[in-house]
Structure 1
C-alpha cells in the first residue's frame, strides 16, 4: 500500500502546516519547510503527489531515483521537481537543503480542478517533471511558508488563500489534462463539463434536473447520465449535491451568515433539508461543522 511522503523524512521540518491549529483540516495541501543536512530518503511509492521547491541559493548535487532510473544532477535556486502519486522515488542530497515540500492528495486535486477550474484531469493528474525552473511557483511557495511562521487566524486565512493560488498555478501549467480522444470513449469532453458546471453555478439556488443538465450538454438524458458517471465517477445528481455542499462550506466560513440563508442560497428546500443532506455527505451537521 502506498505510504504518505512524510512517513520517511529523515529529519523534522522547521515548519509544518499539519501541525498548525488554525489551518483547516480540509486544506488543499500539506506544506513542510526543511533545512536539512546532507542525507538520503529510501525509495518508496507514495499515495500523494509531491512537489519540491528549491530555495537554496547555491547550486548543489542531488540524486533522485525515479521508477528505477537514477538521475544525478545539479539543483539550482527556483528549480522545481514534481513527482506524481504512484511513482517510486528516492533521494540523496550532498549539501544542506533549503526546500519547501508540498504534498497533494489526488482526490482533493481532482475535486479542485473540476469545481474551481473546470478541468478534467488525466488519472495521473500531474506531469512527471524531474527538474525545471519556475521562480513564480517558488515565490508562491515562499508565501505559503511565511504564512506558517505564526499560528493564528490571520495566518491561517493567508495560508488557505495562497494554497489556492499555488494549486491554480500548478494545475494550469503542469496539470495533465485528459485527452479528448481518450475520454473513456464517452464523448463527454471538457467543453461539455464546463457547460454543465456553468449551469450548476448559475442555478445553485434553484432546483436542477438531469434533463436540464443533459440539454446543456446537448445530449439525451439517458446518454448524458451514463457518460457523466463514466467520466466523473458519480451520477449527475450526486455531483450536484456534492457541489451544493462544497459551496455551503465556503459560505459557512462567514460566522455571521445564518444557516437558513446558506441553505436557500445553495438550493435546499429549507434548513432541515440542508442539515440532512449535509450530514449525509460529510457525516456531521452544519452546526457541528461550523463549530469545529
Structure 2
C-alpha cells in the first residue's frame, strides 16, 4: 500500500513543505482504484502513467513536482474546487470534460468539496519532450507547456476515458489499446500547446479518440476475417490513402501492422486455454494458416506458439 500524507489541522498552504520529494500519487488522500503501473507494457509505461481516483471531499498540500500532471474530470455534476498554484488561489466549479494541466516545477495545492472522480495522467518531462520531437515534430519549450489552470476538451477527455477502459476491462486487446490510446492522448495534448500548425498537425487533429475506438471495435469484431486498410478507412469515413498515412502518424504503426499486433495479442490470450488446438487459435485470430501464425507470432514474441504455451503451463497456478 502506498504511503498517504498524514492528516493535519494545519492550513494546507502551511503544510506545503511536508511533501518534499514525494510523488503526486503519494500525497493524494486516497489510493487509486485503478492504475497503469505494472498493468501495461513497458512501451506504454514509457509514454505515461494513469491513476483513477474517487476521493471524498479532502485536500492536498501545496508541492512542486518534477513530473507534469493532467487531471481529467469525470464527474457528471459540476463540483466546487479550490486550486492554489504559485501563490495564486482560484475557486471554481469543475465541469464534466474539463482538464487542468500542472507542469513540472509549478507549486500547486488542491481542495475539493465533493467526492472526486478524476483521472490523473503523469508525464515525465524528458519522455514527453522526446515524444513531441520524434512523433509530432514539435520542440517543447517552457512557454509551450505552460500552466493551464482549466480548459474544456471532450476529445482529450474521451482519449483518457478509453485509456481507463483498457485498464478496467483487461479484455483481449486491452494492452494494445492502452499503448495506442496513450499515443493518441499525447498527440491531442501536444496540439493544445504546439506553436506549429502545419498540414501534418491539422491532419492529426482530425483523427479523434472516437475514430480510434471505432477502428478498434471493428478489428475486435472481425478478428477472424480478412481486414484491409480500406475496411478500416470506410469505418471512419476517411479515404484509404489518407487514412493509412494518418493512422501511421498517430498510432505509430501501419493499419496492417496494428491488425497483426492485435491478432498476436489475441492469440496469446487464447493459448492460455489448453483445450484449444494451435490450428483453432490460428483460425480464430484470422491467420491464413498455421505456418503464417507461427511466423507472425515468433516475430512478435521471440518464441513459437507451441513454446509460448509450454511456458504458460510451467508457471505456478
Shorter-normalised TM range: 0.5 to 0.7
Q: How far is 1:161 from its partner?
A: 0.3
Provide the secondary structure at the position in 2 that maps to 1:70.
strand
1:12 aligned to 14, 22, 31, which one? 31
8 Å contact 2:36–2:45 — kept in the other structure?
A: no
- Which residue number in structure 2 is paired with residue 257 of structure 1? 299
Would the alpha carbon gap of residues 20 and 45 (structure 1) be closer, same or farther in structure 2, given more than 3 Å must change?
Answer: same
Would the alpha carbon gap of residues 21 and 130 (structure 1) be closer, same or farther in structure 2, given more than 3 Å must change?
Answer: closer
Would the alpha carbon gap of residues 25 and 119 (structure 1) be closer, same or farther in structure 2, given more than 3 Å must change?
Answer: closer
* 1:75 maps to 2:117: no
Q: How far is 1:106 from its partner?
A: 0.4
- Which residue number in structure 2 is paired with residue 95 of structure 1? 114
Q: CA RMSD in A?
A: 2.9
Provide the secondary structure at the position in 2 that maps to 1:148.
helix
Unaligned runs of 5+ in 1: 179-189, 192-245, 260-292
Taking the TM superposition and a 5 Å limit, the aligned residue runs for 1:97-246 are 97-123=116-142, 125-151=144-170, 154-175=173-194, 177=195
Q: CA–CA distance in 2 between the matches of 1:31 and 1:2?
A: 20
Would the alpha carbon gap of residues 58 and 24 (structure 1) be closer, same or farther in structure 2, given more than 3 Å must change?
Answer: same
Q: Which has the higher strand share?
A: 1
Q: CA–CA distance in 1 between the matches of 2:108 and 2:34?
A: 23
Q: CA–CA distance in 2 between the matches of 1:166 and 1:37?
A: 27
Would the alpha carbon gap of residues 25 and 172 (structure 1) be closer, same or farther in structure 2, given more than 3 Å must change?
Answer: closer
Unaligned runs of 5+ in 2: 1-19, 199-251, 262-295, 302-317
Provide the secondary structure at the position in 2 that maps to 1:164.
helix
Provide the secondary structure at the position in 1 that maps to 2:62.
strand
Q: CA–CA distance in 2 between the matches of 1:165 and 1:25?
A: 12
Provide the secondary structure at the position in 1 that maps to 2:114.
coil
8 Å contact 1:22–1:151 — kept in the other structure?
A: no
Provide the secondary structure at the position in 1 that maps to 2:129.
helix
Q: CA–CA distance in 2 between the matches of 1:98 and 1:150?
A: 18
Question: Which of structures 1 and 2 has the larger relative contact order (alpha carbons within 8 angstroms, sep 6+)?
Answer: 1
- Which residue number in structure 1 is paired with residue 80 of structure 2? 61
Q: How far is 1:20 from its partner?
A: 1.0
8 Å contact 2:44–2:179 — kept in the other structure?
A: no
**Normalised by the size of structure 2, how large is the TM-score?**
0.54
- The one-character-per-residue Cα deviations of 1:40-99 (angstroms, maximum 9, x if unpaired) are 111000011101111111111000000111111111111110111110001000001111
Provide the secondary structure at the position in 1 that maps to 2:55.
coil
Which range moves more in the overlay, 24-33 or 77-86? Answer: 24-33
Provide the secondary structure at the position in 2 that maps to 1:160.
helix
Provide the secondary structure at the position in 2 that maps to 1:173.
helix
Would the alpha carbon gap of residues 54 and 11 (structure 1) be closer, same or farther in structure 2, given more than 3 Å must change?
Answer: same
**Normalised by the size of structure 1, how large is the TM-score?**
0.59
8 Å contact 1:106–1:125 — kept in the other structure?
A: no
Q: CA–CA distance in 2 between the matches of 1:24 and 1:167?
A: 14
